[in-house]
Amino acid sequence: MPKQVRNKTDYPGVWYIDGTGLDGKPERVYHIGYRVEGKWIEEKAGWARRDGMTPARASSIRNKKIEKKEPTNKARREAEVAEKIAEKERPTLSRLWTLYDETHTTRKDRKSDSSRWALYIEPTFGKMTPDEIAPLDVDRWCRGLAKEKTNRGQKDEKGKFKNPDRPLLSKGTQSRILELLRRLVRFGVDREIIVAPRWKVHLPKIDNEKTERLNPRQTTALLEALRAEALDRNAADALLIAWGSGLRKMEILSLSWENVDMASGWLRITNRKGGKSANIPITPMVREVLARRALLKDTPEGTAEENVKKSLYVFPADSESGHREDISRFQRRLRTALKLPADFRMAHGLRHDYASRLAERGESLLVIAELLGHENVNMSKRYAHLSNDRLKAAADGATEAGSLNTETGTGE
């Protein structure tokens, strides 16, 4: 590379070098030289056209640096690097989320957590540290959640939802969003990344006593539709298992063949809430579905549906986990086709329906809790009234023969 020639200007300590601009045309590059605390420093001041640099402007910059009104280029770069490092290590909620997500990669609700974080927490608090958030900020945000609408539906080219009549967030969804925020703060405090903030997250009180029950006509229509489904056979089979076992959606979709023991008639569920594993009996409906899928699994190469035969999972998919993770689109289509109530939650509703059938058969709350994977019997008490109705009917029947005749006043 030829030696660059320094061209003097009318200003002391200012010179330029002939260079080539971004457009390929000749362009001057101005430099300055000055002494600070006995040390000689040479720096680039800027390009003539690109930065609008002139000899006079370069001289002004030089004077400010001599008077220490501006830092040297080296000091400025070091300060920028230090600022970036400090910002990166600053315990913002975004940093807490990244650390939490990286250290809890196997949690079942990771995908849902990511959505709750990106949609509802990050836009408001992502760039703030917990100690920068005032209690009133949290209160205001919590009130705003009650007015938020769900993220369901398709968006147009401008990013707006095509269906403006989306429902408001349920109290359950609001509670899960708030619980995630509380979890992130607790994670930061436990890891000594932050100190406990001045504010607390209070979860709304939720009435969890709701039970979802299909009537006989709805049950018949549902089972017929699921058995006849052709477009999404996997999702239909998953809901058939939900109807016949009461298992949670992800317990079904993540079920692996190694945890299916058709000979003994048991399923091994390894990802229950609370982290405990459980053995669940294979009911006739579940056996019917698994037997069909097992035949498909063992079908010769090239004739099996999707890649069931190659997978470790009963419901395989081309996903990071290797199994199907979502059937919401199919559930909405099925609910609409069967004209089921808009608030019937399909997979979760079938779980309630299964528990209700157990209660109506007179099974104890302990048995219901064991089969559904409830952490304690209190969670199963919502079905107690169904069992009580059966007991009342039995008691009424047992005493019917001794009831008084209202006309004669005697027993018949």
Return the percentage of the chain with pLDDT > 70, whole number: 80
What confidence tier does 285 reach under pLDDT thresholds 50, 70, 90? Answer: very high
At residue 301, the pLDDT reads 46
What confidence tier does 238 reach under pLDDT thresholds 50, 70, 90? Answer: very high
Instruction: Specify if 98 maps to a domain.
Output: yes
- Residue 151, classified by CB atoms within 10 Å of its CB into exposed (0-12), middle (13-18) or buried (19+), is middle
Instruction: Specify if 208 maps to a domain.
Output: no
Cα Rg of the chain, angstroms: 34
Average pLDDT over residues 226-242: 94
**268-276: long-range contacts, CB 8 A cutoff, minimum separation 24:** 269/373, 271/108, 272/248, 272/373, 273/248, 273/373, 273/375, 274/373, 274/375, 276/373
CA distance 259 to 267: 6
What confidence tier does 309 reach under pLDDT thresholds 50, 70, 90? Answer: very low
Based on the domain organization, do 269 and 184 belong to the same domain? Answer: no
Q: Which two tokens stand for residue 83?
A: 């600022």
Instruction: Specify if 370 maps to a domain.
Output: no
At residue 201, the pLDDT reads 86
Based on the domain organization, do 64 and 18 belong to the same domain? Answer: yes
CA distance 155 to 54: 51
CA distance 177 to 181: 7
The per-residue pLDDT of the chain, averaged, comes to 83
Based on the domain organization, do 335 and 236 belong to the same domain? Answer: yes
At residue 211, the pLDDT reads 64
Based on the domain organization, do 237 and 273 belong to the same domain? Answer: yes
Instruction: Specify if 120 maps to a domain.
Output: yes
Model confidence at 142: pLDDT above 70? yes
Based on the domain organization, do 149 and 80 belong to the same domain? Answer: no
Average pLDDT over residues 318-334: 88
Based on the domain organization, do 222 and 117 belong to the same domain? Answer: no
Among candidate residues 345, 367, 397, the one where a domain is terminated: 345
- Is residue 169 within 8 A of residue 148, CB to CB? The reply is yes
Model confidence at 278: pLDDT above 70? yes
Instruction: Specify if 404 maps to a domain.
Output: no
- Is residue 47 within 8 A of residue 19, CB to CB? The reply is yes
At residue 298, the pLDDT reads 55
Residue 340, domain extent: 216-345
At residue 303, the pLDDT reads 42
String of DSSP letters for 88-114: HHS--HHHHHHHHHHH-TT-TTHHHHH
Based on the domain organization, do 330 and 224 belong to the same domain? Answer: yes
Among candidate residues 293, 311, 345, the one where a domain is terminated: 345
Residue 260 identity: V
At residue 330, the pLDDT reads 94
Instruction: Specify if 63 maps to a domain.
Output: yes
At residue 208, the pLDDT reads 56
What angle in degrees, to the nearest 10, is found between the helix axes of 93-103 and 171-190? 90
Based on the domain organization, do 183 and 259 belong to the same domain? Answer: no
CA distance 156 to 369: 45
At residue 159, the pLDDT reads 60
Model confidence at 54: pLDDT above 60? yes
Instruction: Specify if 393 maps to a domain.
Output: no
Number of domains composing the chain: 3
Q: Which two tokens stand for residue 357?
A: 């059938």
Based on the domain organization, do 132 and 40 belong to the same domain? Answer: no
Based on the domain organization, do 115 and 137 belong to the same domain? Answer: yes
In tens, the pLDDT along 195-209 reads 999 888 888 776 555
Residue 102 identity: E
CATH of the domain at 44: 3.30.160
What confidence tier does 407 reach under pLDDT thresholds 50, 70, 90? Answer: very low
Shortest CA distance to 331 belongs to which of 350, 315, 316, 313? 350
Lowest mean pLDDT among 20-29, 119-128, 174-183, 397-406: 397-406
CATH of the domain at 294: 1.10.443.10
Shortest CA distance to 394 belongs to which of 360, 364, 368? 360
Model confidence at 224: pLDDT above 90? yes
Lowest mean pLDDT among 72-76, 78-82, 162-166, 323-327: 162-166
Model confidence at 302: pLDDT above 60? no
In tens, the pLDDT along 366-375 reads 888 888 887 7
CA distance 150 to 164: 10
| Helices and strands (H and E) in the chain: how many | 16, 7
More confident residue, 144 or 400: 144
Name the region of 68 (left: φ>0; alpha: ψ -120 to 50; beta: rest). left
Average pLDDT over residues 341-353: 87
Based on the domain organization, do 168 and 249 belong to the same domain? Answer: no
At residue 411, the pLDDT reads 46
Among candidate residues 87, 117, 142, the one where a domain is terminated: 87
Is the pTM higher than 0.85? The answer reads no
Instruction: Specify if 279 maps to a domain.
Output: yes
- Is residue 314 within 8 A of residue 293, CB to CB? The reply is yes
Based on the domain organization, do 229 and 306 belong to the same domain? Answer: yes
Model confidence at 227: pLDDT above 80? yes
